[in-house]
Structure 1
Amino acid sequence: MSKKRASLVVQEDFTEIFTDASTESKREHTEVITIEQALRIITRHMKASGRRDRTISDYEVHVAHFSEVTNVIYLNQVTPEHIYLWLSSMDVSNQTKLTRLKCLKAFLNKCADYGWLRNRFWRQIQIKVDSQVKRGAEEKDVMLLLSLMDLNRFVELRDATVLLLMFRTGIRIGTLSALKEEHIDFNTRTLLIDGSILKNHQQIHLPFDETIERLLKALLKQNAIVRKDRGENNSFIFISFKGKEMKATQANSNIQKRINEYSKEYGLRNLNPHALRRGFANRLLKKNANVALISKALGHSSLDVTTRYLHLDKKEVAENLRSYL
């Protein structure tokens, strides 16, 4: 190194000189960040990473409600008492409280991951919820409803296809709303679903039977007529009567509403999107499919979620165990 350059090198160790100031600065920054600022940053990052609109909306609604009820502005002011106060303000079931608490906890965990909070005290806050048995839809009820629907009408043909597809493949209604013609392979009678439209973002192939094949082919032909009549150009399988794409929330609302109307009119119970998925899971179990296969078909994140779908009463458990003795 030249003498000129060597003269620019300071022969002194300043490593520790600003350490305390830096630490204090970080501490002060943590103290001044507000819940509103943290929520804005986190939801922006969630949007950028492709998280579902519904998930982001839940964060915005529940965290904002927490701040409003407790009058807490800054993150470092949040205490267990604030969370209990928030929970006590709700006139809802414990199950609903638990769902909202999970959302708040997820938000606080992200804040801790970002270095805005030091102690994850909220982990110890729990809500006791009595487990309620949610049974799956019965095949006889599904078939009865399908027999009562007028498949010569476009909307009822569409709804019938949705109903049977959910019951026979376990597909979520949100995924159904995003299905396009390119996802159908009629040669192998399989739905080739890519991860971009699935909740767990993992690709899956779901086989379907001859009845669903016939319904799908009839629906695609009718879709083409509706789109041409309405001047629309898309390849979605499940469209509105105006030929437009049905968003997940719209599909869930409209189709669920129609199923409810049929159920009330004909005295049918337990027919809804979740019950149809549970019915699919139970049908597989009765055909001796293992839980791992059922979990994969349902797109669950863990086997624990799947086991909650597969309710077996005590007598049924005993009879199943007896076959292994």
Structure 2
Amino acid sequence: MTKKKDIYSVESELTSILNNIVKKAQMKGNAPNTIDEALRLLINQMIGSGLRERTIRDYKINITHFIKQTKIHRLEEINADTIYRWLAEMQVSNQTKLTRLKCLKAFLNRCFDNGWLSTRFWTSIKIKVDKKTKPGTNESDILKLLLNLDLSSFVEFRDATAILLLYQTGIRVGTLGNLKESHLDLDRSKLILDGEIMKNHEVLILPFDDDLKQFFKVLIKQNNHIREEYNKTNNYLFITKFGDKVSNDINNNIKRRLHYYSKKYSIANINPHAIRRGFARSLLDQGADITLISKALGHSDIQVTTRYLHIDKEEVAERLRNYL
């Protein structure tokens, strides 16, 4: 006689739930007794996942500081009140408090993910910080740098072309390193960026002037000579003096060289991010609206653009006056 089938299958309906119950119980049973022990376990996890030494060191410093200042040693003793008390007793700027709070929150998030804490009570804890926006590079600084560069040197000529391109188009330095000569439309003096090399993966078309167009023509000719000399076959716009692709190191390379030029020629505000801000500010000063600038920068959020523009309250008032 065939055994009558149950109305529902325990195995299919309840096994996953049972496994979750067991898993939570096991995690709870293995939960560390102290914050120190939790920190030690998390550091082992972070080392295993290949986290940077500097990040791990920040965890050690800030969590140890929390324990010392609050005299709290058990995870379950941590709550919003103890965190606020810890922050209130710090004799440091709000920016430093925010940095330390972020580290503590990251630590608590990892504890929660391990099942050692039952709620994320810390998510509502905030510190208000007025973020200072660094000004962008101005045109006089760009011109000063370009006039000091030796354009008879391939590397410095390449750098001059890169600097002009950054200032005239506002593209990110990461995009710069992946540019190919095929991204240039010299007949129409336009840079055509496909989604593959853009941070937001959207196509962007940007114009450049005749001076930069001539720089591009010379750079392409020099690139061809170098590739032929070293038997290279790539099509990248910015290459090393040996004909290799520089995009793998373009962020550090360009930043490092701009830092070198900044020191050598006493130009304080020269770096890829400042040049990008300078591009945005230049457009604003020439009458471009924020929506257009945001599109040119490839921003998905216009609020990011307003921070780039470094507009203070007085300037907002003066600009609004023009519409009265």
For Structure 1 versus Structure 2, the TM-score category normalised by the shorter chain is 0.7 to 0.9
Correspondence 1:157-306 to 2 at 5 A: 157-248=157-248, 250-306=249-305
Structure 1: state its 5+ residue gaps. Answer: 44-56, 72-76
Cα distance in 2, alignment partners of residues 80 and 123 from structure 1: 11
Q: Which has the larger displacement, 261-270 or 171-180?
A: 261-270
Deviation at 1:281, TM superposition (A): 0.4
| C-alpha contact 1:181 1:236 (8 A) present in aligned 2 | yes
Report SS of the residue matched to 2:199.
Answer: coil
| C-alpha contact 1:170 1:277 (8 A) present in aligned 2 | yes
Amino acid at match of 2:21: E
Deviation at 1:266, TM superposition (A): 3.3
1:64 aligns with 2:56: yes
| C-alpha contact 1:30 1:117 (8 A) present in aligned 2 | no
Q: Percent identity?
A: 45
TM-score with structure 1 setting the length: 0.73
Partner of 2:24: 27
Cα distance in 2, alignment partners of residues 123 and 239 from structure 1: 46
Change (3 A) 1:26 1:173: same
Cα distance in 2, alignment partners of residues 203 and 100 from structure 1: 39
| C-alpha contact 1:63 1:104 (8 A) present in aligned 2 | no
| C-alpha contact 2:58 2:103 (8 A) present in aligned 1 | no
Amino acid at match of 1:24: I
Cα distance in 2, alignment partners of residues 96 and 172 from structure 1: 28
Amino acid at match of 1:290: D
Cα distance in 1, alignment partners of residues 204 and 105 from structure 2: 31
| C-alpha contact 2:42 2:110 (8 A) present in aligned 1 | no
Change (3 A) 1:255 1:80: farther
| C-alpha contact 2:259 2:270 (8 A) present in aligned 1 | yes
Change (3 A) 1:224 1:30: farther
Report SS of the residue matched to 2:288.
Answer: coil
TM-score with structure 2 setting the length: 0.73
Aligned equivalent of 1:9, options 5, 23, 35: 5
- Length, aligned pairs only: 300
Report SS of the residue matched to 1:206.
Answer: strand
Correspondence 1:299-314 to 2 at 5 A: 299-314=298-313
Cα distance in 2, alignment partners of residues 80 and 247 from structure 1: 47
Correspondence 1:144-159 to 2 at 5 A: 144-159=144-159
Deviation at 1:315, TM superposition (A): 4.5
Partner of 2:119: 119
After superposition, the CA RMSD in angstroms is 4.2
| C-alpha contact 2:281 2:309 (8 A) present in aligned 1 | yes
| C-alpha contact 2:145 2:261 (8 A) present in aligned 1 | yes
Cα distance in 2, alignment partners of residues 185 and 104 from structure 1: 50
Change (3 A) 1:151 1:13: closer
| C-alpha contact 2:24 2:115 (8 A) present in aligned 1 | no
